[in-house]
Every structure is written in C-alpha cells, then in structure tokens.
C-alpha cells in the first residue's frame, strides 16, 4: 500500500461578499475549474455560513469542488445564540469545516482545549476538519516557534485514535503572513511542514503521517503558489484574499 497526501486548495472567503457577489464568484470558480483544471486536486470553498445552502447547488456539477463552513460550535445543539453546529452542517450534506483559524483564536479566544472539542464533534458528525495552526511574529522572532506549533497539534489532536487522525487535514498559517502580503518563503514553509509531519510521525507512525495533507496559508497568490506547492511537505494551500478573485484562485489551483 502506498501512502500519499491528497492535494488540496481551499479558499477561505472569511467575512466577505454579499449574496450576489458570492453567486458570481462561485459560478466563475466552478466554470474555470471545469474548463482549466485537470488532475487530482480537491478544491474547497469556505464562504460565509449564511450562503452555503445556496452555493452548494452551484458546485454539484463540479465533482472537484466542495463547500464547507469556517467554524462550528463544540456542542451539538443548545442555547448558543448565533452559533452553528456540526449536526447542522452535516444535515446540509457538507463535508468540511475549518477549525482553529488564527482569527478565531485571536478575536474569539478559542483555546487548544476548545478546539480539541470542535475536532471531536466534527469527526463524530462525519465532517473533515481543516485544523489550522501557526505562530505569531513575536514567537517566530523570539521563541521556539516550531515547538509552539507542534504543541497546538499535541493539545488539539493527539487525543485522537490513528483512525480519526487520518481524517484530519492540517493548515499551517503563520499569523505574520496572513493578509499581510508577507509570505513565508518556500524554505520557511517546508521547515515547518516537515517538522509537523515529523511530529505526527513520532506519535502515529511515518506511514500515517505521510498520508496527512498539510496545507500552507498566508498570502498565497498566483505568483508564489507554484514555489510553495513544490515543497515536498506542502500538499496545497489555504487561501484567503486571493480566493476572492476567481482568476487568481484558479491560477493557484493550477499551480498545485
């Protein structure tokens, strides 16, 4: 049996686009992907949750493209005004959820412990978590930044069985590179991705670690995607700003 991490390019639209704008963007992306993208790549779109039901019908003829949500609550249901749950996402027939994006950690106080619960409820509902991790600029410049990010995995994922860990996708996003135009160099990305894969291997074995997709995020654009994706431990990207432009996003997908 050979092991190989799946190639994935994901677009996180964050809190952007009106419904009309979202419909145009999804239509353009689907058409460009159908016309121009060949080969084995999974394309994931994470629009605002309000739109996922509507947008889902737009991707049904593009098997390469799936829609997911940017966040879920760690409980299945209850008095949590404004939140959405994993069973709700499952009931829409969606398959993927971002968990632990640095903006959720920073602005909404999400902790490694809480994210472990989110991972659990996602898996319990058959959803694939895209687990986000990454260090701040201060950590990178003054501390053990690799140890910090490894610890994010340890505290939020290492309670999982090997069978469940296999269902996780990891997205490494250095906070200092998000939305700043400051991309990690290909070498910086590779260094961290290799360290994270090694960390997974130490706990779960090399074969399983080789099978886990580790995406890079942080100012990925049409101009730098190919170099980043060419790194041996970079299995694709989690794209923010450039995923809001269909042409740029398609070029990134083609660079995988």
Ligand X SMILES: O=C[C@H](O)COP(=O)(O)O
Binding site for ligand X (CB under 6 A): 12, 101, 173, 178-179, 217-220, 238-242
57 is in an annotated binding site: no
Q: Which residue number, 165 or 242, has a Cβ lying nearer to ligand X?
A: 242
CA atoms within a 13 Å half-sphere pointing along the CA-CB vector of 156: 30
147 is in an annotated binding site: no
**Contact status, residue 75 vs residue 121, Cβ threshold 8 Å:** yes
Q: Which residue number, 30 or 178, has a Cβ lying nearer to ligand X?
A: 178
**Catalytic sites, residue numbers:** 101, 173
Q: DSSP state, 97?
A: E
7 is in an annotated binding site: no
Rg, Å, the chain Cα set:
17
206 is in an annotated binding site: no
Q: Which residue number, 68 or 217, has a Cβ lying nearer to ligand X?
A: 217
Task: Quote the least distance from Cβ 195 to ligand X, whole Å.
Answer: 20
Residue with the two structure tokens 């700003």: 241
Task: Quote the least distance from Cβ 235 to ligand X, whole Å.
Answer: 15
Closest CB to ligand X belongs to which residue?
Answer: 240
Task: Quote the least distance from Cβ 3 to ligand X, whole Å.
Answer: 26
176 is in an annotated binding site: no
Residue 125 CB: number of other CB atoms within 10 A?
Answer: 17
Q: DSSP state, 95?
A: -
**Contact status, residue 99 vs residue 132, Cβ threshold 8 Å:** yes
Task: Quote the least distance from Cβ 243 to ligand X, whole Å.
Answer: 7
CA–CA dist 97, 222 (Å, integer): 24
Q: Which residue number, 122 or 209, has a Cβ lying nearer to ligand X?
A: 122
- In degrees, rounded to 5, the angle at the alpha carbon of residue 146 between the alpha carbons of residues 232 and 217 is 55
Binding residues for substrate: 12-14, 179, 219, 240-241
Binding residues: 12-14, 179, 219, 240-241
């Amino acid at each position: 049996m050979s092991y190989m991490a799946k190639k994935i390019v994901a677009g996180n639209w964050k809190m952007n686009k009106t419904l009309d704008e979202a419909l145009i963007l999804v239509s353009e992306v689907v058409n460009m992907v159908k016309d121009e993208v060949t080969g084995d790549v999974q394309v994931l779109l994470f629009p605002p949750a309000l739109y996922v039901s509507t947008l889902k019908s737009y991707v049904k003829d593009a098997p390469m493209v799936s829609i997911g949500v940017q966040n879920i609550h760690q409980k299945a249901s209850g008095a949590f005004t404004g939140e959405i749950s994993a069973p709700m996402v499952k009931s829409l027939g969606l398959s993927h959820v971002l968990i632990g994006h640095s903006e959720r950690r920073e602005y909404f106080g999400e902790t490694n412990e809480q994210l472990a619960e989110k991972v659990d409820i996602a898996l319990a509902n058959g959803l694939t978590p895209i687990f986000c991790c990454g260090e701040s600029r201060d950590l990178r410049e003054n501390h053990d930044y690799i140890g910090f990010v490894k610890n994010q995995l340890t505290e939020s994922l290492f309670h999982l069985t090997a069978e469940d860990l296999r269902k996780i996708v990891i997205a490494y996003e250095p906070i200092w590179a998000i939305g700043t135009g400051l991309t990690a160099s290909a070498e910086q990305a590779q260094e961290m991705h290799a360290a994270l894969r090694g960390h997974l291997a130490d706990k779960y074995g090399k074969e399983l670690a080789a099978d886990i997709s580790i995406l890079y995020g942080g100012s990925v654009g049409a101009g730098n995607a190919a170099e980043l994706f060419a790194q041996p431990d970079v299995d694709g990207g989690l794209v923010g700003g450039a995923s809001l432009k269909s042409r740029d996003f398609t070029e990134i997908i083609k660079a995988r």
